[in-house]
Structure 1
Amino acid sequence: MEQLTSGDFTQEQDPFALFQSWFEEAKKSEPNDPNAMALSTVDADGLPNSRMVLLNGRDGEDFVFYTNTQSQKGTELLAQPKAALLFHWKSLRRQVRIRGAVSLVSDEMADAYFASRPRDSRIGAWASQQSRPLESRFALEKAVALQAAKFGVGTIPRPPHWTGFRVSPVYLEFWRDGAFRLHDRVVFRRTAVDQPWSRERLYP
């Protein structure tokens, strides 16, 4: 595994092994949220949107995150189920770009992850009308208090509008900073998730 990170990573044949190697290093060196990634979608007019979200796990080859399906990103993903992800690990001077089709996780998987979240986060998922106009901070705090009172000390079920999305990559690009902007770039491509990968180096 060490060869993937300190040697010539451009010779690695498995993009997921390479990603995992870099990710493990990022978890040791990034001061905050090594699993933070930029998620890019497009709206009904084809205008791109990007925002930071957290990678909540990998399921096989898929990259999984969770959100409110009624949010801006949720509605855009449901209407146009394709996305791009970007990991930027400044401490390592590396980034990984990922592109692929998007699908929903199973209800069982979403239920299990929701149950693992802190109680206040579960209440917040019920209280927040994500991406919609908010009249004041007080209105949000009131909504949280109302939901907390509603559930009391009982079980907090997963909201029907809250679930996970999985990105199934057909494109992964690895970038490592080099002196004088002579960076190393390697891209893996495939035409579909059941097809073999092709690999090539790119000019920086």
Structure 2
Amino acid sequence: MELSDIRREYTRGGLRRHDLPDEPLSLFDKWLKQAVEADLSDPTAMTVATVDENGQPYQRIVLLKHYDKEGFVFYTNLGSRKAMHLEHNAKISLHFPWHAIERQVHITGEAEKLSKMEVMKYFTSRPKESQIAAWASKQSSRISARQALESKFMELKQKFSNGEVPLPTFWGGYRVKVSSIEFWQGGENRLHDRFLYRHEADNWEIDRLAP
């Protein structure tokens, strides 16, 4: 098998300037709903890219948990590698790869920590097992074996079996304040449609980009 021979055509239709709203959130909302309706696996999964203090980029998959005009929200262990990166450099990139419907959305911006009240509200809405897992995993740290993680989980499950799971002090979330959003729609003959929204002052500037 030659990797260079793997290709497909994009035939689901294009994206035109007259299709675009003046601001990007309503288009993102429409596309996300269509991704959910298309029964895509993990439609809220997004690649989150950060940069360490040496300029080395890192990426990982995180689930989007909320979005509005104030930004895009996700949650994580505040001792994780991504959180450490954001302490040094708040610039961040998000990417939604909706391959099955031949679409991508790319977002750039800066991350700011959520308030404790916002974090608490979401944490208490999670299944109890997920709450316990937040306590059990010291995210991004080295562990000797999976058994150690499972043993810690079972120990905590027993500890919290008869009561509520408190919010860990080391667990929180971020809101990504958007600088730009790019919408990518696959097109025939590799003539894809790309539109970039850039936040300038209180307005959104829209540019078509070459594929």
Structure 1: gaps spanning 5 or more residues: none
Whole-Å Cα distance in 1 between the matches of residues 76 and 117 of structure 2? 15
Q: CA deviation at 1:198?
A: 0.7
Bigger RCO (CA 8 Å, 6+ sep): 2
Deviations 1:168-191 (A, max 9, x none): 111100000000100000001124
Task: Say yes or no: does 1:198 pair with 2:205.
Answer: yes
Q: Name the counterpart of 1:155.
A: 164
Q: CA deviation at 1:60?
A: 3.0
Whole-Å Cα distance in 2 between the matches of residues 91 and 7 of structure 1? 15
Q: Name the counterpart of 2:179.
A: 170
Return the TM-score normalized by structure 1: 0.92
Task: Say yes or no: does 1:23 pair with 2:29.
Answer: no
Structure 2: gaps spanning 5 or more residues: 1-11
% identical equivalent positions: 40
Q: Quick one: which of 73, 77, 80 aligns to 1:71?
A: 80
Runs of 4+ in 1 over 2 A off after TM superposition: 5-11
Which shifted more, 166-175 or 70-79? 70-79
Whole-Å Cα distance in 1 between the matches of residues 91 and 156 of structure 2? 33
Alignment CA distance shift 1:176-1:151 (3 Å) = same
Return the TM-score normalized by structure 2: 0.89
Task: Say yes or no: does 1:95 pair with 2:104.
Answer: yes
Whole-Å Cα distance in 2 between the matches of residues 126 and 141 of structure 1? 12
**Cα root mean square deviation, aligned:** 1.6
Task: Say yes or no: does 1:60 pair with 2:69.
Answer: yes
User: Aligned ranges for residues 171-186 of structure 1 at < 5 Å?
Assistant: 171-186=180-195
Whole-Å Cα distance in 1 between the matches of residues 15 and 133 of structure 2? 45
Q: Name the counterpart of 2:5.
A: none
